[in-house]
Chain A
Amino acid sequence: MAEVRAEMVANVWKVLVANGDEVTDGDTLVILESMKMEIPVIAEDDGVVTIKVAEGDVVQEGDLIATID
């Protein structure tokens, strides 16, 4: 299982995939927004994704955003 974590404090602007979706390395899972900048969160593995955040959430640096099995 691969974990995808937030690199910074941010708001979850958009969730682009649903739980159970098959994703591949390089897919954009979530778009974060911090300080008026959009930060795409990218899958670094292939597998089935579980999203741990919802649009509008605030994530802290290091928070879990998704897992890929």
Chain B
Amino acid sequence: MFESVLVANRGEIARRIIRTVKTMGIRAIAVHSEADADLPFVLEADEVILLGPANPAQSYLDMEKVLGAAEKTGAAAVHPGYGFFSENAEFARRVTEAGLVWIGPAPEAIVQMGDKINARNLMEAAGVPVAAGTREPVTSLPEALIAAEKIGYPVMVKTAGGGGGIGMGVAVDEASLEKAFDQASRAASRFGGEPAILLERYIERARHVEVQILGLADGTVVALGERDCSVQRRHQKVVEESPSPGITPELRERMLAAAVRAGEAVGYRGAGTVECLVDADKQDFVFLEMNTRLQVEHPVTELVTGMDLVEAQLRIAAGLPVEIPRGTRGHAIEFRVYAEDPKRFFPGPGAIDVWVEPSGEGVRVDSGYAPGTTVTPFYDPLMAKLCVHGTTRAEAIERGRAAVAAFQIQGPKNNLPFCAELLDNAEFVTGDYDTGLVSRMRP
């Protein structure tokens, strides 16, 4: 095992990675921006390097500064977390070229899966079901109109290089396609992605279900169950659970097998996620995309498998074996506690006056903040992940209600009232929901 790990990230995920790194007796190195100097992940690291100003381009996304920090501290390995450089093949290459261990898949796998059109074609060739859609990048509105006609409305419009739901839109006719195409094009150019657009058949009553895979050091790929991420606002996840209450054991088996094939198709190493759309009525699924990194919602899988996925990532990167548990145990739910108002979900950063986390049996909180710290507008709104585990889904929901009620936050706006509302929503409680749930709750 390597001597030290530099965590090239911030907030809750940097803190969570540092926790495991330190538990394994490895030196944990944090990098941070001026805005984040007081956050727990900085205080808890063994060594700290200030990168620069709050603007991510001058700190967390400044490749030279992050690589310089690794050199200066003598880091042996780099963990990218999620977001930032986690799916940046060039950064992965630069880390490796500097003689450090990259805790993630090979840069080639990142490239292959990063282009959504390429990934889709690759998956189709590997026998993984994909939705009807464009096989070549769409670069103009006339092309998009022809493609949509062929696929049949409604269609989902998204950027081939983007992520995190940014720029995604549904078009039901030619007029709305023009709008969705414009929105996706603007997002593509703005986030530095290639201005290529992808159109796919849109499933009306879809569940978003993803499979956690691990590519082991010996080359085998295993699936660690699924996560249902259908509670979304603006195409971004708010609540995730495992197992999914919306798929049959037969469908689960097929999805897990397809996810393993997807990983094998790119010779995948480390933790990855195969995202799928499930047609809840037909009990069928299609490949959506693969995320070549640790996911925000990985604690859900950790709670039902008893594994530490960050430890598994480190062991795989070091060429060591990982013990894979048989099956899963109980039910887990994660609530993303965002700094946003619970009605319109608009950002509400601010200084934290009161911060009291819930605790107790089956409760886990991964948070990036503490009393006296400030949630700034420079980064994503995730303040904490409140996770609950129970022997049954009903018990997990009950624990979720108590934990949400016990979580006290004053200062920034927060969506805990929305989480409480969701836990009393009939669709959610029965488990019979789809990705349209939040918009039905907020018409």
Contacts and interface: CB of A to CB of B under 8 A. Distances in A.
Interface in B342-391: 346-350, 376-381
A22 interface: no
Highest count of chain A CB atoms <10 Å: which of B164, B234, B347: B347
A11 B377 CA distance: 7
A58 B339 CA distance: 18
Contacts of B339: 35
B379 A8 contact: no
A8 to B, nearest CB: 6
Contacts, number: 39
B379 A36 contact: yes
B347 A10 contact: yes
Number of chain B interface residues as a range:
10 to 19
A7 B350 CA distance: 13
Contacts of B164: 36
A37 interface: yes
Interface in B305-352: 339-340, 346-350
Contacts of B340: 35
Interface string A2-17: 0000011111000000
Contacts of B347: 8-10, 34-35, 37, 39
B350 A35 contact: no
A37 B381 CA distance: 9
A11 B349 CA distance: 12
B349 A9 contact: yes
A37 B378 CA distance: 10
A9 B381 contact: no
B379 A9 contact: no
A20 B164 CA distance: 38
Nearest to B350: A9
Interface in B370-427: 376-381
Nearest to B166: A36
Contacts of B379: 35-36
Contacts of A11: 377-378
A33 B346 CA distance: 11
Contacts of A8: 346-349, 377
B377 A58 contact: yes
Interface string A23-50: 0000000000111110100000000000
Contacts of A34: 347, 349, 377
B379 to A, nearest CB: 7
Highest count of chain A CB atoms <10 Å: which of B346, B349, B377, B379: B377
A7 B164 CA distance: 24
A33 B234 CA distance: 15
Highest count of chain B CB atoms <10 Å: which of A8, A10, A39, A58: A8
A8 B350 CA distance: 9
A36 B380 contact: yes
B138 to A, nearest CB: 23
B56 to A, nearest CB: 10
Highest count of chain B CB atoms <10 Å: which of A10, A33, A37, A58: A37
A39 B350 contact: no
Contacts of B376: 9
A33 B190 CA distance: 13
B151 to A, nearest CB: 28
A65 to B, nearest CB: 15
* Chain A to chain B: the 9 pairs with minimum beta-carbon distance, closest first: A34-B347, A35-B381, A35-B347, A34-B377, A9-B349, A9-B377, A36-B380, A10-B377, A8-B347
Interface of B: 164, 166, 234, 339-340, 346-350, 376-381
Given A9-B350, A35-B381, 20 more contacts: A7-B346, A8-B347, A8-B349, A9-B376, A9-B377, A10-B377, A34-B347, A34-B349, A35-B340, A35-B349, A35-B379, A35-B380, A36-B166, A36-B379, A36-B380, A37-B234, A37-B346, A37-B347, A39-B347, A58-B377
8 contacts: A9-B347, A9-B350, A33-B377, A35-B340, A35-B349, A36-B164, A36-B166, A39-B347
